[in-house]
Structure 1
Amino acid sequence: MNWYVVYTKPKWEKKVAEKLNEIGIECYCPLITQIKQWSDRKKKVEVPLFNSYVFVQLQDTDRNAVFQVAGVVRYLFWLGKAAIVRDEEIVTIKKSLTNTNISEISIVPYKKGDKIKLEDGVFSSQDAVIQEVTNTHYILVLESLGCVLKMKYKKESF
C-alpha cells in the first residue's frame, strides 16, 4: 500500500484525519505543539505540521474512498499523477516529531547594534555592526575596512 497526500479545507486537517480513521482508512496528520497567545492568556495547542495536508495509506484502487469525508478537497499531484510518499519519509517525520531535544525554534531578525560575521560574498569573513534596519535592507558598518555596506534582504525570509 502507498501513502498519498490528501489536500483538505483550511483548518480541517485534524477533523479529516479523525473521520478517515472512523471509516477505516489509515491516515497520519503530523501535529506539533505551539504556544498560542490571546489577549488574556497563553495556551498550548496542537497544530498540523503541514497546513491542509493529511497522509493516507491505502490501495490505489481504493483512493476514491477518502471523498466520503467532509473536508477532503483532492489529492496532491506530482507530474500528473497522485503524489506518493515513501514509507521512509513518513517514518522520518514521525521520528523527528518524537525528538525531545528540540524545545522551540524561532527565527529572529537582526536588530540595530548586533555584531555579525559576513559568511559569503565579496566581504566574506568580515565583522560588521548593524547600524540600521529597514523593511528592505540593512546598513552595516565594516570597521576593519572603514566602510558602510547597504545589504538588501527578502522580507519573507523572516
Structure 2
Amino acid sequence: MSEEAKWYVVHTYSGYENAVAATIVKAAENRKMQDLILEVKIPLETVTEVHDSQTKTVERKIFPGYVLIKMIMTDESWHLVRNVRGVTGFVGSANKAVPLTEEEILSLGIEKHEVIVGYEVGGTVKVTDGPLVGFLGTVEEIETEKSRVRVIVSMFGRETPVDLDFDQVEAVK
C-alpha cells in the first residue's frame, strides 16, 4: 500500500456529495484516522446567472456525483470511505482505486503550487521560447493562477503586449 497521500475520486449518489463529504470527515475523526484521510473536497465553481435582468451569483458543483479525497490508501481507510452511506465506489478499475495524476490535480485546481518567478512588474525579461525568441521586454502583469506573464515588447518601433508562459521568459540581470 502507498505511504504517501494521494487524491482519489469517490462516486456518490447525485445530490449526496455534501452529506458524503461530511460523513467521511466525521468518521475519520471518530476513528482517529485523520492521519490517513487528510482532506475531503467537492470541486465548486462560482457562476453568475442572469434571469429577468437580475444577476445572482451561485456556487455550482463542477462534477456532480463525485467527491475528492486526499488520503493514504490502506485497507482500513478504503473500508471507511467505501462503507459511507451514499458512496457507490472509488473511481478506478474493479476494487482498485486509481489516484489522480499530478496533471489532473493541477488542472482541477485542487492544490495550488506556489510559483516563484525571478522577475517582477516593471522588470526587464528576455523571451526564451516561441516566435519572439531573443526579444527583450518589460513585465506589465503577472498572472500566477494561470502561470502567465504579459510582457511589453518593442516590435517595428511599436510597444506590443504579449502573453507568455512563465517558462518562456527569464529575468535579465
What TM-score, normalized to structure 1?
0.48
What TM-score, normalized to structure 2?
0.45
